[in-house]
Amino acid sequence: MSMSMSMSMSSSSSSSLSNPPTLTLRNGLKHPVIGFGTYKVGVIPASASSAVASGGPNAVERTAEECVSDALDVGYRFIECAQFYANESEVGKAIAKSGVERTDLFICSKVWTTTIEQGPQAIEEQLKKTLADLGTDYVDLYLIHWPVPGKHVEAYKTLEKLADQGKIKGIGVSNYAWEDYLELKENGVKNLPLVNQIEINPFLYRKNTIAKFADEGVVLQSYRSLRDGKAFDDPTILKIAESHGRSAAQILGRWCVQKGFVYIPKSVKKERMVENSKVFDFELTEAEMNELDSLTTPDAIETFVSLYRKCVNRDTSKDGTLDGVKMTITGD
């Protein structure tokens, strides 16, 4: 199911990157459909070891403050952050220098597994730090980064309390399988997640899972919409890009927003930030959308399930084990 079938997307004739189309979340919050992703911007987190092993030039290329200043200058107003990205104070400096009004920004952050494992007080302290680093007294969205086994429900309930205090406008989750969401429901969570941030692109298009969340009114934020820059030479993408006179990145971005997913491309290069934002002025045909939809293989779903099992305990005291991990989840 396309998200746009269950969520209404608003865009006015004056839509631009600094005034982008929005989706209305269940609590009435207007969520921009495009934002700037800050993972590996300025810093590569220590436990993202594969990225470091492959060189990780972004760690030193430009600071996060410089990159986010560029993103704000280009017009991005939704900044997608996380404790794990280790750059929120730099993001905060860029915001402060930009002079953009807080009310014109939409800020999302996520609490990391180490903190989730430590429990409610650690989560409260982390949110305080994130707010201080970002230079704000509230985040628009705050997400549980991973559904840490045995810990994520308690963490979610802590976020509900912090939302009651006005520090969080909306609560969401990330990397939740359908079964993790059911666990929240079964454990008496009152304000169910407004968003679930998961990898979505034509190479990992988990139709079944997406339809289940969409039916519940949970907006899907797509991460790795650009497949982390690793699929630009795919022949189907290139063929469609050529027929529209667009770049491969723009085809992936257009597929994402045309499906009704929130799109949060990351680049440390200003010209690419501009390029990535140009996805609202052309349309893919139904045949092209179908062709892109079919790029997800059974192998990709299997790889995803293995990665889920590995990552839910990552950085916690159970890292490297399957302790508490759900072995059966909806993969597709």
Any idea which residues carry the catalytic annotation? Answer: 85
**Spatial contact of 55 and 30, defined as CB atoms under 8 Å apart:** no
How many residues interact with ligand NAP (rule CB under 6 A)? 27
Q: How far apart are CA 36 and CA 265, in angstroms?
A: 6
Q: State which residue has the least CB distance to ligand NAP.
A: 37
Binding flag, residue 313, ligand NAP (CB under 6 A): no
Q: Compute the least distance from the CB of residue 272 to ligand NAP, in Å.
A: 4
Half-sphere exposure of 109 (CA within 13 A, CB side): 32
Report which of 125, 192, 114, 121 is spatially closest to residue 153, judged by C-alpha positions: 192
Nearer to ligand NAP, 136 or 197 (CB): 197
Q: Compute the least distance from the CB of residue 300 to ligand NAP, in Å.
A: 15
Nearer to ligand NAP, 87 or 99 (CB): 87
Report which of 84, 88, 163, 162 is spatially closest to residue 123, judged by C-alpha positions: 162
Q: Binding to ligand NAP (CB under 6 A): which residues in 221-250?
A: 223-229, 247, 249
Binding flag, residue 197, ligand NAP (CB under 6 A): yes
Nearer to ligand NAP, 80 or 288 (CB): 80
Site map for ligand NAP, 80-119, x if CB under 6 A? x---------------------------------------
Nearer to ligand NAP, 151 or 266 (CB): 266
The three-state secondary structure class of 106 is strand
Binding flag, residue 265, ligand NAP (CB under 6 A): yes
Nearer to ligand NAP, 8 or 49 (CB): 49
Q: Compute the least distance from the CB of residue 99 to ligand NAP, in Å.
A: 23
Long-range CB contacts (within 8 A, 24+) of 154-160: 154/119, 154/120, 155/111, 155/116, 155/119, 155/120, 155/123, 156/184, 156/189, 156/193, 157/189, 158/119, 158/120, 158/123, 158/124, 159/111, 159/123, 160/189, 160/190, 160/191
Q: How far apart are CA 72 and CA 98, in angstroms?
A: 7
244 annotated as ligand-binding: no
Q: Compute the least distance from the CB of residue 13 to ligand NAP, in Å.
A: 27
Q: Compute the least distance from the CB of residue 304 to ligand NAP, in Å.
A: 12
Report which of 147, 191, 145 is spatially closest to residue 169, judged by C-alpha positions: 191
**Spatial contact of 149 and 323, defined as CB atoms under 8 Å apart:** yes
Instruction: Choose which of 34, 144, 210, 268 interacts with ligand NAP (CB under 6 A).
Output: 268
> Torsions phi, psi of 268, nearest 5?
-95, 0
> Residue with structure tokens 């990145």?
249
Instruction: Choose which of 65, 234, 275, 315 interacts with ligand NAP (CB under 6 A).
Output: 275
Nearer to ligand NAP, 145 or 167 (CB): 145
Q: How far apart are CA 146 and CA 82, in angstroms?
A: 12
Interacting span for ligand NAP (CB under 6 A) from 45-53, 93-101, 219-227, 281-289: 219-227
Using the Cα atoms of residue 65, residue 68, residue 70 and residue 75 in order, give the sign of their dihedral.
Answer: negative
Residues that bind ligand NAP (CB under 6 A): 37-39, 58, 80, 145, 174-175, 197, 223-229, 247, 249, 264-269, 272, 275-276
